[in-house]
Amino acid sequence: MPGFDIPDEALEERFITGGGPGGQNVNKVATTVQLRVDLFRLGLPPYAYRKLKELAGSRLTAANKIVIQASRFRTQEANRQDARERLAEMIAKAHVRDARRIATKPGKAAKARRVDEKKARSSVKQGRGKVRMD
């Protein structure tokens, strides 16, 4: 949903040193951003809230906060922008409603096939009984 504004009080940013390879710069400069988003403060409609929780998956904490970690770029500002874009994309996906499922019933031919298969199976099982000599 392009018109949805993310309130600043719902966001919490923390900068941490990045992990993995990268030499001395990785150990000195805290460029990785950890964006925490409070779901309650976003003010989403119920259907979008449910879908956002589903989309977040393992990024959702017990306190109903989504944690997005961005470390793709070498600067804090680029990583901050990346994290916010990923959040906006996730929220936009959450606003897309799923198509309603329409319950259908089996047709007459399908019902007849099912009954015929049951009768055939029944006769096979009936033939397995004890053999009687009359």
> Given this model, what pLDDT does residue 2 score?
52
Query: What are the structural domains of the chain?
Result: 8-94 (3.30.160.20)
Q: Is the pTM value of this prediction over 0.85?
A: no
Instruction: Report yes or no: 70 and 78 within 8 Å, Cβ to Cβ.
Output: no
pLDDT of 114 > 80? The answer is yes
For residue range 38-84, list pLDDT tens digits in order: 887 887 888 888 888 888 888 888 888 888 888 888 888 888 889 88
84 vs 120, which has greater pLDDT? 120
CA-atom Rg of the chain in angstroms? 28
Closest by alpha carbon to 40, among 85, 7, 84, 16? 7
Map tokens 């070498």 to a residue.
74
pLDDT band at residue 113 under the 50/70/90 scheme: very high
For residue range 1-44, list pLDDT tens digits in order: 456 667 666 777 878 777 766 666 666 777 788 888 888 788 78
Phi-psi sector, 74: left (phi>0), alpha (psi -120 to 50), beta: alpha
pLDDT of 130 > 50? The answer is yes
